[in-house]
Amino acid sequence: MIAGRGWIAIAAESMGRSTTVGTALTSLLFGTADALSNALQVLKIPAELIATLPYVATVIGLMIYAVSETRKKNKKLKSPLVK
């Protein structure tokens, strides 16, 4: 029942930038993906494929987070030093 949800929680905390509101919103996003995967199981799509939906949402979210953090760091490095 818990298979991998701890890693989703760690991803939610990281993407929420360790703030209460950010982590809650990210957890809500991943919870919605989990609920959607449960609701979509009535379709004629293999259940194993639908069960991966929360994990795919987590990977996509972490990719977006990593790209935005990399851009911020690069922007910081390129800006001139102000004394």
The most confident of the ranges 9-13, 65-69, 77-81 is 65-69
pLDDT in tens, 22-60: 999 999 998 898 888 888 888 888 888 888 888 898 999
Domain count, the chain: 1
| Percent of the chain with pLDDT strictly greater than 70 | 90
DSSP assignments along 23-82, one per residue: HHHHHHHHHHHHHHHHHGGGSSS-HHHHHTHHHHHHHHHHHHHHHHHHHHHHHHHHSPP-
Given this model, what pLDDT does residue 82 score? 55
Does some domain include residue 49? Answer: yes
Given this model, what pLDDT does residue 77 score? 80
Distance, CA of 13 to CA of 9 (rounded, Å): 6
Does some domain include residue 83? Answer: no
Does some domain include residue 55? Answer: yes
